[in-house]
Amino acid sequence: MRKVAVIGVGNSKFGNRQDVNVTELAFEAVKPALEDAGLIPKDIEFVAVGSAGAGAWYEEALPAVIAAEYCGLTGAGLVRCEAACASGSAAVFTVYSAIASGQIDIGMALGLEKMREVDTLTVVELIGRAGYYLWEFHNFGMTFPAYYAMHATAHMAKYGTTEEDLALVAVKNHKYAALNPVAHFQKEITVDEALSSYPIAWPLKLYDCCPVTDGAAAVILASEEKVKELKIDTPVWIEGIGASSGTGNLSKRDSYVGLKSAVIAAQKAYKMAGVGPEDIEVATVHDCFTIAEILAYEDLGFCKKGEGPKLIREGQTEIGGKIPVNVDGGLKAKGHPIGATGCSMIYELTKQLREEAEKRQRQVPLKKYIALAHNVGGTGHYCYVTILRR
Amino acid sequence: MEVGFPTIKSRKLTIVNHIPISKTLKFWEGLKEGKIYTTKCKKCGTIFFPPAGDCSKCYSSDMEWIELSNEAEIETFTHILVRPATFQHYEPYTVAIGRLKEGVKVLAWLTGAKLSEIKVGMKVKLVAKVTPEGEPTYEFQPI
Ligand SMILES: CC(C)(COP(=O)(O)OP(=O)(O)OC[C@H]1O[C@@H](n2cnc3c(N)ncnc32)[C@H](O)[C@@H]1OP(=O)(O)O)[C@@H](O)C(=O)NCCC(=O)NCCS
Ligand SMILES: [Zn+2]
């Protein structure tokens, strides 16, 4: 397999973006990514678009086609990837594989989601249907906050995790989002505010949830030959990618105190990259709900099973701690435009590894220059773990 | 939704799917008689819930129907306040996952218990019923 590097990244402003439609939003990510790589649209041989809500929360059924048209990418090989909230990572995986195999030399993964064209309860419905509609939604009206709430309940019962522990995750991620110009939320919150926010799916409250966000992010990948030919000064190499999956029926899972698909995806990625959790210096993890960040610490091996709450209590996942996590604000506060999130994680880690994080207080000090992205689709229905190194 | 930016409304489309249930008909019919049936693979013995017409373990399609015991133990639960658009006419509801004696697990509403009284490990019973709208379903109830 050939080596593959990230050579250009772009991220639109995340938020309630009723000022733009889905293609205009894509342009806000594609343009800076091309500029960053020093390329023009016709250099891109293949485009994989990660998007989950096509024809549902936004009106267009073929977002890859219209986004490519609007951005002048028509003619490139094209596909839309769906892996729920990990669709962006699935797009990265697809382009990575095409380059590693020798099929192409330069490709783009474009994560794209326009969620705010319908009301919140319709979004709650559409995401709730994305488990196993027939067995868990039709009669029982499961929602995504509820799926993660079930994990919180189980983790609390087994390990004594508290609502305060969850609130600490929200406080940390809001703190960093307030320093991130692309983040949906730009304000800090307190533990008390988090604990007194209104209940969504017990024990999860408003501040335990990611918001409904519009956003796009683009990642341009290239082969080692192209990196040399284009004289890219700071390529960020994809050292490992692992993917796994879990059942649609939550009732068929062995346990609710972790996500097995994340454990397996991480093992595969670590093995491929030849590194372990102790080598990771900065991580973006899938904190769609605060409990999910705690599960991620454990599933990725940043701590032992059941010790995730201790990590957040001790501040070990802040800058200056053992392993800074989600210093871009995470899904919780940067926002979670479903299909864009995976690409936005790579955007953030590329900036971090190049020591270009805006603003400077968000830059993690690095020695080994190794970073990890953990992107979960659904409640562990899909999982992708990607390890990057400068 | 935030107003303030000009938008165009898409055409309104109502979608209703007709989901085939031929292979699991006995399950849906059983609920109306107060019974919870599921399938067991005759070849490898695996019990499935939800019921399945085909075995994902050994790939046989030779299944038999068995009636499930009603005793379950709660593995986890939540109480849903922010409800999906099509569940607005319900009061907030509790959903639990319970493990049955047979080893399979079921996700269903847990009714008739106060949230503060529900605990992981609590024993409950699984009951088949028909909703006021005439839809067959099943739920957990305290013993
Ligand atoms: C939790 C949720 C239901 C809240 O929706 P809502 O109550 O309709 O929220 P609104 O958009 O009406 O916002 C109400 C206020 O809360 C704030 N807010 C909304 N969601 C928020 C969140 N997740 N965190 C913090 N504040 C939030 C808004 O900024 C707004 O504040 P304002 O009145 O000062 O402007 C919704 O954000 C949600 O469903 N999130 C989860 C999305 C999801 O499941 N994603 C997939 C995960 S895998
Ligand atoms: Zn079998």
Q: Is residue A310 part of a domain?
A: yes
Query: Is B2's pLDDT higher than 90?
Result: no
Q: Is residue A174 part of a domain?
A: no
- Average pLDDT rounded to a whole number, residues A220-230: 98
Domain housing A86: 4-118+212-389
- Average pLDDT rounded to a whole number, residues B113-125: 97
Does A141 contact chain B (CB < 8 Å)?
yes
Q: Is residue A203 part of a domain?
A: no
Q: Is residue A189 part of a domain?
A: no
- The kind and range of the H/E element at A125 are helix A120-128
- pLDDT digit string, tens, across residues A154-199: 999 999 999 999 999 999 999 999 999 999 999 999 999 999 999 9
Smallest CA–CA separation between B81 and chain A, in Å? 5
Indicate the number of domains in chain A.
Answer: 1
Contact B120, A159 (CB under 8 A): no
Q: Give the chain A residue whose CA is nearest to the CA of B47.
A: A252
Q: Where in chain B is the domain with CATH 2.40.50.840?
A: 69-143
**Protein residue with its CA nearest to atom 28 in ligand 1:** A211
Helix (H, G, I), strand (E, B) or coil at B32: helix
Q: Is residue A164 part of a domain?
A: no
Does A207 contact chain B (CB < 8 Å)?
no
CATH code of the domain containing A375? 3.40.47.10
Does B28 contact chain A (CB < 8 Å)?
no
- pLDDT digit string, tens, across residues A332-365: 999 999 999 999 999 999 999 999 998 789 999 9
What is the rounded distance in angstroms from the CA atom of residue A60 to the CA atom of residue A71? 16
pLDDT of residue B132: 87
Smallest CA–CA separation between B100 and chain A, in Å? 11
Q: Give the chain A residue whose CA is nearest to the CA of B89.
A: A141
Amino acid residing at A221: L
Q: Specify the CATH architecture of the domain B69-143.
A: Beta Barrel (2.40)
Mutate to test the pocket of ligand 1, among A184, A202, A210 (most ligand atoms within 8 A of CB): A210
Indicate the pLDDT class of residue B36, thresholds 50, 70 and 90.
very high
* CA torsion angle A343 A345 A350 A353 (round to 10): -170
